[in-house]
Amino acid sequence: MGIVELLLIAIGLSMDAFAVAVCTGLGQTRFKISDALLVGLFFGAAQAGMPALGYLVGSGFSEKISFIDHWVAFAILVAIGGKMLVDTHKEKKNDCANITGPCTADGALTFSKLFLLAIATSIDALAVGVSFAFLNVKIIFAVCIIGLTTFVLSIVGVRVGSLCNTRFRFWANIAGGVMLIAIGAKILIEHLV
């Protein structure tokens, strides 16, 4: 798997974190770079840690199913991307501006909510890590790309949320879901051709 595919997977995986970061920016009374860096650190670390954990789990049985590994990677990525699209459609009418995310009513960040949101938005990355084991991806490089991408996009999300309205969250999740499905299809096509 090349750098372009890894970067696209990283962007796709980070869309949930980006959306929550946008909500965080919307929930704050004013933008603070320290808060944006904290959100980026929490989300980036969780998005980097989950694929590493998934890789460790997946590498234990990847050799036993190597003849269908591309189908497994395809199924995982399409399921994650499809779930993102379905969830986004279900939440279309929900207004992110009414969600404070990891913020209190006065806009202050709470570590406990931030931690839980970071874990919740990175569960998909666990499954991707399993597929990385099947595809023999260089996991340290992949984890660094995913963590750094999520870190940067989370910071941007907080800033965008402080400047923007809620429509951006919807389109970010749509783009992330479509990207993961497209990468899953590419992996499958490369192995079948």
Residue 65 CB coordination number (10 Å): 12
Instruction: Find tokens 């660094």 and name the residue.
Output: 144
Is residue 137's pLDDT more than 80?
yes
Parse the chain into domains and list their residue ranges.
3-192
Kindly give the residue spans of alpha helices, DSSP state H, lying in the chain.
Answer: 3-27, 33-59, 69-90, 111-134, 139-163, 167-192
pLDDT at 100: 42
Is residue 145's pLDDT more than 90?
yes
pLDDT at 151: 97
User: What is the rounded distance in angstroms from the CA atom of residue 82 to the CA atom of residue 90?
Assistant: 12
Percentage of the chain beyond pLDDT 90 is 23
The answer to whether residues 38 and 117 touch, using CB atoms and an 8 Å cutoff, is no
pLDDT at 91: 67
Work out the average pLDDT over 133-142: 88
Is residue 147's pLDDT more than 80?
yes
| pLDDT digits 0-9 by tens, 14-56 | 987 888 787 777 666 678 898 899 999 999 999 999 999 989 8
Is residue 132's pLDDT more than 60?
yes
- Report the mean per-residue pLDDT for the chain: 79
User: What is the rounded distance in angstroms from the CA atom of residue 98 to the CA atom of residue 137?
Assistant: 40
Work out the average pLDDT over 88-99: 58
Residues 6+ apart with CB under 8 A from 158: 21, 22, 24, 25, 28, 31, 35, 36, 39, 40
Work out the average pLDDT over 142-152: 96
Confidence of residue 10 (pLDDT cuts 50, 70, 90): very high
> Cα–Cα–Cα angle for 181, 49, 78, nearest 5°?
10
The answer to whether residues 167 and 28 touch, using CB atoms and an 8 Å cutoff, is no
- Pick the more confident residue, 102 or 86: 86
Confidence of residue 87 (pLDDT cuts 50, 70, 90): confident
Range in 61-65, 72-76, 121-125 the model is least confident about: 61-65
pLDDT at 102: 52
